[in-house]
Amino acid sequence: MNARTFLLMAAITALFLAIGFMIGGEGGMLVALGIAGAMNLFAYWNADKMVLSMHGAQEIDRNTLPWFYDMVARLAERADLPMPKVYIIDSEQPNAFATGRNPENAAVAASTGLLRHLSTEEVAGVMAHELAHVKSRDTLTMTITATIAGAIGMLANMAMFSSYSNSDNRSSPLGPIGGILLMILAPMAAMLVQMAISRTREYEADRVGAEIAGQPMWLASALSKIEQAAHAIPNHTAERNPATAHLFIINPLHGGSMDNLFSTHPSTENRIAALRAMAAEMGGGGQPRRSGSVPSSYAASRRGPWG
Protein backbone atom coordinates (compact mmCIF):
# COMPACT_ATOMS: atom_id res chain seq x y z
CA MET A 1 0.00 0.00 0.00
CA ASN A 2 1.52 3.32 -1.04
CA ALA A 3 1.42 6.51 1.02
CA ARG A 4 -1.44 8.06 -0.94
CA THR A 5 -3.65 4.99 -0.53
CA PHE A 6 -2.84 4.86 3.19
CA LEU A 7 -3.80 8.51 3.62
CA LEU A 8 -7.06 8.02 1.71
CA MET A 9 -7.99 5.01 3.83
CA ALA A 10 -7.13 6.98 6.96
CA ALA A 11 -9.39 9.78 5.71
CA ILE A 12 -12.39 7.51 5.17
CA THR A 13 -11.89 5.91 8.61
CA ALA A 14 -11.63 9.36 10.22
CA LEU A 15 -14.85 10.37 8.46
CA PHE A 16 -16.57 7.31 9.88
CA LEU A 17 -15.43 8.17 13.40
CA ALA A 18 -16.39 11.83 12.96
CA ILE A 19 -19.94 10.84 12.08
CA GLY A 20 -20.08 8.72 15.22
CA PHE A 21 -18.94 11.74 17.24
CA MET A 22 -21.55 13.96 15.60
CA ILE A 23 -24.27 11.49 16.53
CA GLY A 24 -23.31 10.79 20.11
CA GLY A 25 -20.17 12.64 21.13
CA GLU A 26 -17.27 10.58 22.46
CA GLY A 27 -19.57 7.64 23.18
CA GLY A 28 -20.84 7.69 19.62
CA MET A 29 -17.30 7.76 18.28
CA LEU A 30 -16.41 4.69 20.32
CA VAL A 31 -19.50 2.88 19.04
CA ALA A 32 -18.53 3.82 15.47
CA LEU A 33 -15.03 2.50 16.07
CA GLY A 34 -16.46 -0.79 17.29
CA ILE A 35 -18.75 -1.08 14.26
CA ALA A 36 -15.87 -0.34 11.90
CA GLY A 37 -13.71 -2.98 13.55
CA ALA A 38 -16.45 -5.63 13.38
CA MET A 39 -17.24 -4.87 9.75
CA ASN A 40 -13.60 -4.96 8.73
CA LEU A 41 -13.08 -8.27 10.53
CA PHE A 42 -16.07 -9.76 8.74
CA ALA A 43 -14.91 -8.35 5.40
CA TYR A 44 -11.38 -9.68 5.92
CA TRP A 45 -12.59 -13.28 6.20
CA ASN A 46 -15.73 -13.36 4.04
CA ALA A 47 -15.84 -10.55 1.44
CA ASP A 48 -14.18 -12.60 -1.33
CA LYS A 49 -16.74 -15.40 -0.97
CA MET A 50 -19.58 -12.87 -0.95
CA VAL A 51 -18.39 -11.11 -4.12
CA LEU A 52 -17.86 -14.37 -6.02
CA SER A 53 -21.29 -15.60 -4.93
CA MET A 54 -22.96 -12.32 -5.96
CA HIS A 55 -21.69 -12.77 -9.51
CA GLY A 56 -22.41 -16.49 -9.72
CA ALA A 57 -18.72 -17.31 -10.24
CA GLN A 58 -17.89 -21.00 -10.71
CA GLU A 59 -14.47 -22.34 -9.75
CA ILE A 60 -12.63 -24.28 -12.45
CA ASP A 61 -9.59 -26.53 -12.51
CA ARG A 62 -7.18 -27.51 -15.24
CA ASN A 63 -9.52 -30.21 -16.55
CA THR A 64 -12.25 -27.64 -17.15
CA LEU A 65 -10.31 -25.18 -19.30
CA PRO A 66 -6.63 -26.14 -19.65
CA TRP A 67 -5.42 -23.20 -21.77
CA PHE A 68 -6.87 -20.58 -19.43
CA TYR A 69 -5.88 -22.33 -16.21
CA ASP A 70 -2.32 -22.84 -17.49
CA MET A 71 -2.14 -19.19 -18.56
CA VAL A 72 -3.03 -18.00 -15.06
CA ALA A 73 -0.49 -20.45 -13.61
CA ARG A 74 2.30 -19.12 -15.85
CA LEU A 75 1.43 -15.51 -15.09
CA ALA A 76 1.32 -16.23 -11.35
CA GLU A 77 4.76 -17.83 -11.62
CA ARG A 78 6.11 -14.77 -13.45
CA ALA A 79 4.63 -12.56 -10.74
CA ASP A 80 6.17 -14.76 -8.00
CA LEU A 81 2.70 -15.46 -6.57
CA PRO A 82 1.01 -18.62 -5.31
CA MET A 83 -1.48 -20.11 -7.75
CA PRO A 84 -4.82 -18.36 -7.14
CA LYS A 85 -8.20 -20.03 -7.43
CA VAL A 86 -9.65 -19.50 -10.89
CA TYR A 87 -13.31 -18.69 -11.52
CA ILE A 88 -15.54 -18.19 -14.55
CA ILE A 89 -18.50 -15.78 -14.54
CA ASP A 90 -21.35 -16.50 -16.93
CA SER A 91 -21.64 -13.03 -18.48
CA GLU A 92 -21.38 -12.00 -22.13
CA GLN A 93 -19.80 -8.67 -21.13
CA PRO A 94 -16.00 -9.06 -21.29
CA ASN A 95 -14.63 -8.26 -17.82
CA ALA A 96 -12.62 -9.64 -14.92
CA PHE A 97 -11.74 -9.00 -11.29
CA ALA A 98 -9.58 -10.31 -8.46
CA THR A 99 -10.47 -10.81 -4.81
CA GLY A 100 -9.04 -12.34 -1.64
CA ARG A 101 -7.50 -11.13 1.60
CA ASN A 102 -3.90 -11.96 0.63
CA PRO A 103 -1.89 -13.68 -2.13
CA GLU A 104 -2.21 -17.03 -0.36
CA ASN A 105 -6.02 -16.80 -0.43
CA ALA A 106 -6.61 -15.03 -3.73
CA ALA A 107 -8.99 -15.68 -6.58
CA VAL A 108 -9.22 -14.33 -10.12
CA ALA A 109 -12.44 -14.36 -12.11
CA ALA A 110 -13.02 -13.84 -15.83
CA SER A 111 -16.31 -13.62 -17.69
CA THR A 112 -17.22 -16.01 -20.49
CA GLY A 113 -17.43 -12.93 -22.71
CA LEU A 114 -13.79 -12.08 -21.99
CA LEU A 115 -12.64 -15.55 -23.05
CA ARG A 116 -14.91 -15.56 -26.09
CA HIS A 117 -14.21 -12.13 -27.56
CA LEU A 118 -10.56 -11.37 -26.72
CA SER A 119 -7.41 -12.90 -28.17
CA THR A 120 -5.20 -15.07 -26.00
CA GLU A 121 -2.65 -12.27 -25.63
CA GLU A 122 -5.36 -9.82 -24.55
CA VAL A 123 -6.73 -12.30 -22.01
CA ALA A 124 -3.17 -12.71 -20.68
CA GLY A 125 -2.86 -8.92 -20.33
CA VAL A 126 -6.11 -8.76 -18.38
CA MET A 127 -5.25 -11.62 -16.03
CA ALA A 128 -1.79 -10.15 -15.43
CA HIS A 129 -3.53 -6.92 -14.38
CA GLU A 130 -5.69 -8.85 -11.91
CA LEU A 131 -2.67 -10.66 -10.51
CA ALA A 132 -1.02 -7.25 -10.06
CA HIS A 133 -3.91 -6.33 -7.77
CA VAL A 134 -3.26 -9.53 -5.81
CA LYS A 135 0.49 -8.83 -5.62
CA SER A 136 -0.14 -5.30 -4.29
CA ARG A 137 -2.87 -6.56 -1.89
CA ASP A 138 -5.33 -4.12 -3.46
CA THR A 139 -8.16 -6.62 -3.10
CA LEU A 140 -8.10 -6.32 0.70
CA THR A 141 -7.68 -2.52 0.59
CA MET A 142 -10.65 -2.02 -1.72
CA THR A 143 -12.85 -4.44 0.21
CA ILE A 144 -12.26 -2.71 3.53
CA THR A 145 -12.74 0.71 1.97
CA ALA A 146 -16.02 -0.33 0.38
CA THR A 147 -17.21 -1.80 3.69
CA ILE A 148 -16.51 1.41 5.63
CA ALA A 149 -18.01 3.55 2.86
CA GLY A 150 -21.23 1.53 3.03
CA ALA A 151 -21.32 1.86 6.81
CA ILE A 152 -20.92 5.64 6.52
CA GLY A 153 -24.18 5.80 4.59
CA MET A 154 -25.88 3.82 7.35
CA LEU A 155 -24.51 6.07 10.08
CA ALA A 156 -25.50 9.19 8.14
CA ASN A 157 -29.10 8.01 8.09
CA MET A 158 -28.89 7.32 11.83
CA ALA A 159 -27.54 10.84 12.33
CA MET A 160 -30.57 12.43 10.68
CA PHE A 161 -32.95 10.26 12.72
CA SER A 162 -31.04 11.10 15.90
CA SER A 163 -31.13 14.83 15.21
CA TYR A 164 -34.92 14.78 14.98
CA SER A 165 -35.75 12.36 17.78
CA ASN A 166 -33.16 13.71 20.25
CA SER A 167 -32.92 17.40 19.43
CA ASP A 168 -32.26 18.17 23.11
CA ASN A 169 -29.57 15.49 23.48
CA ARG A 170 -26.47 17.38 24.56
CA SER A 171 -24.16 14.52 23.65
CA SER A 172 -24.80 15.24 19.99
CA PRO A 173 -23.86 18.58 18.39
CA LEU A 174 -26.32 17.98 15.54
CA GLY A 175 -29.54 19.84 15.04
CA PRO A 176 -32.18 18.87 12.46
CA ILE A 177 -30.43 20.88 9.72
CA GLY A 178 -27.06 19.41 10.61
CA GLY A 179 -28.50 15.92 10.43
CA ILE A 180 -29.85 16.51 6.93
CA LEU A 181 -26.55 17.97 5.73
CA LEU A 182 -24.62 15.07 7.23
CA MET A 183 -26.94 12.54 5.58
CA ILE A 184 -26.23 14.13 2.18
CA LEU A 185 -22.58 15.13 2.44
CA ALA A 186 -21.06 12.21 4.38
CA PRO A 187 -21.87 9.47 1.82
CA MET A 188 -20.69 11.77 -0.98
CA ALA A 189 -17.38 12.36 0.80
CA ALA A 190 -16.98 8.63 1.41
CA MET A 191 -17.69 7.89 -2.24
CA LEU A 192 -15.09 10.41 -3.39
CA VAL A 193 -12.40 8.89 -1.17
CA GLN A 194 -13.34 5.35 -2.21
CA MET A 195 -13.15 6.22 -5.89
CA ALA A 196 -9.88 8.09 -5.44
CA ILE A 197 -8.37 4.92 -3.98
CA SER A 198 -9.77 2.82 -6.82
CA ARG A 199 -8.40 5.09 -9.55
CA THR A 200 -4.96 5.15 -7.89
CA ARG A 201 -4.78 1.37 -7.73
CA GLU A 202 -5.96 0.82 -11.33
CA TYR A 203 -3.10 2.83 -12.83
CA GLU A 204 -0.59 0.95 -10.69
CA ALA A 205 -2.10 -2.44 -11.54
CA ASP A 206 -1.90 -1.57 -15.25
CA ARG A 207 1.81 -0.86 -14.89
CA VAL A 208 2.64 -3.93 -12.80
CA GLY A 209 0.37 -6.15 -14.91
CA ALA A 210 2.13 -5.04 -18.09
CA GLU A 211 5.45 -5.96 -16.48
CA ILE A 212 4.13 -9.39 -15.50
CA ALA A 213 2.82 -10.13 -19.01
CA GLY A 214 5.87 -8.53 -20.62
CA GLN A 215 3.80 -6.72 -23.26
CA PRO A 216 1.95 -3.50 -22.30
CA MET A 217 0.08 -3.42 -25.60
CA TRP A 218 -1.71 -6.68 -24.84
CA LEU A 219 -3.46 -4.97 -21.94
CA ALA A 220 -3.95 -1.73 -23.88
CA SER A 221 -5.75 -3.59 -26.67
CA ALA A 222 -7.86 -5.52 -24.15
CA LEU A 223 -8.91 -2.34 -22.34
CA SER A 224 -10.10 -0.80 -25.60
CA LYS A 225 -12.23 -3.84 -26.46
CA ILE A 226 -13.66 -4.20 -22.95
CA GLU A 227 -14.52 -0.50 -22.78
CA GLN A 228 -16.51 -0.69 -26.01
CA ALA A 229 -18.28 -3.87 -24.95
CA ALA A 230 -19.16 -2.52 -21.50
CA HIS A 231 -21.27 0.20 -23.13
CA ALA A 232 -22.99 -2.22 -25.52
CA ILE A 233 -23.45 -5.35 -23.38
CA PRO A 234 -25.17 -4.99 -19.99
CA ASN A 235 -23.96 -6.83 -16.90
CA HIS A 236 -27.22 -7.31 -15.04
CA THR A 237 -25.61 -8.84 -11.94
CA ALA A 238 -23.25 -5.89 -11.58
CA GLU A 239 -26.15 -3.48 -12.06
CA ARG A 240 -27.89 -5.16 -9.11
CA ASN A 241 -24.67 -4.98 -7.04
CA PRO A 242 -23.09 -1.60 -7.94
CA ALA A 243 -20.90 -1.62 -4.81
CA THR A 244 -18.72 -4.24 -6.52
CA ALA A 245 -18.20 -2.21 -9.72
CA HIS A 246 -14.81 -0.87 -8.62
CA LEU A 247 -13.40 -4.42 -8.47
CA PHE A 248 -13.66 -4.99 -12.24
CA ILE A 249 -10.90 -4.04 -14.67
CA ILE A 250 -13.41 -1.79 -16.50
CA ASN A 251 -16.53 -0.33 -14.89
CA PRO A 252 -19.27 -2.88 -15.71
CA LEU A 253 -22.04 -0.31 -15.22
CA HIS A 254 -23.28 1.69 -18.18
CA GLY A 255 -21.97 5.23 -18.57
CA GLY A 256 -19.28 5.25 -15.87
CA SER A 257 -15.98 5.74 -17.68
CA MET A 258 -15.33 9.49 -17.37
CA ASP A 259 -12.17 10.39 -15.48
CA ASN A 260 -13.75 12.66 -12.89
CA LEU A 261 -14.52 12.74 -9.18
CA PHE A 262 -17.55 10.49 -9.60
CA SER A 263 -15.89 7.74 -11.65
CA THR A 264 -15.00 4.34 -10.19
CA HIS A 265 -12.24 3.93 -12.78
CA PRO A 266 -9.73 6.15 -14.55
CA SER A 267 -10.39 7.14 -18.14
CA THR A 268 -9.68 4.14 -20.34
CA GLU A 269 -8.13 6.48 -22.88
CA ASN A 270 -5.68 7.73 -20.24
CA ARG A 271 -4.84 4.18 -19.18
CA ILE A 272 -4.14 3.12 -22.77
CA ALA A 273 -1.95 6.20 -23.31
CA ALA A 274 0.11 5.29 -20.24
CA LEU A 275 0.52 1.72 -21.50
CA ARG A 276 1.56 2.94 -24.96
CA ALA A 277 4.21 5.13 -23.34
CA MET A 278 5.39 2.15 -21.30
CA ALA A 279 5.60 0.00 -24.45
CA ALA A 280 7.68 2.68 -26.16
CA GLU A 281 10.08 2.78 -23.21
CA MET A 282 10.40 -1.01 -23.36
CA GLY A 283 11.28 -0.72 -27.04
CA GLY A 284 8.62 -2.97 -28.51
CA GLY A 285 5.11 -2.65 -29.87
CA GLY A 286 3.83 -5.99 -28.66
CA GLN A 287 0.61 -5.69 -30.68
CA PRO A 288 -1.69 -8.66 -30.01
CA ARG A 289 -2.72 -10.97 -32.77
CA ARG A 290 -6.32 -11.57 -33.80
CA SER A 291 -8.77 -13.39 -31.54
CA GLY A 292 -8.02 -17.08 -31.45
CA SER A 293 -4.25 -16.80 -31.87
CA VAL A 294 -2.28 -18.74 -29.31
CA PRO A 295 1.21 -17.73 -28.15
CA SER A 296 3.00 -20.89 -27.02
CA SER A 297 4.28 -19.20 -23.86
CA TYR A 298 0.75 -18.92 -22.45
CA ALA A 299 -1.45 -21.63 -23.93
CA ALA A 300 -1.24 -24.82 -25.94
CA SER A 301 -4.81 -24.69 -27.28
CA ARG A 302 -8.10 -22.88 -26.85
CA ARG A 303 -10.36 -25.88 -27.06
CA GLY A 304 -13.22 -25.62 -24.60
CA PRO A 305 -16.65 -24.04 -24.07
CA TRP A 306 -15.24 -20.49 -24.19
CA GLY A 307 -12.15 -21.00 -26.35
Active site residues: 130
Q: Rounded to an integer, what distance in angstroms lies between the CA atom of residue 252 and that of residue 234?
A: 8
Main-chain dihedrals φ then ψ at residue 248, nearest 5 degrees: -75, 155
Size of the chain in residues: 307
Cα-based distances in Å from 55 to 51, 89, 106, 117, 168: 7, 7, 16, 20, 46
Burial group, residue 53, by CB count within 10 angstroms (0-12, 13-18, 19+): exposed
Q: Rounded to an integer, what distance in angstroms lies between the CA atom of residue 154 and that of residue 248?
A: 25
Q: DSSP 3-state assignment of 85?
A: strand
Q: Rounded to an integer, what distance in angstroms lies between the CA atom of residue 208 and that of residue 39?
A: 30
Contacts of 185 (CB under 8 A, 6+ apart): none
Residue from 305, 299, 225 nearest 68 by CA: 299
Tell me whether strands 58-60 and 85-89 are parallel, antiparallel or unpaired: antiparallel
Contacts of 72 (CB under 8 A, 6+ apart): 83, 84, 86, 108, 127, 131
Dihedral angle over CA of 13, 15, 16, 20, nearest 10: 140
On whether the CB atoms of residues 52 and 109 are closer than 8 A, the answer is yes
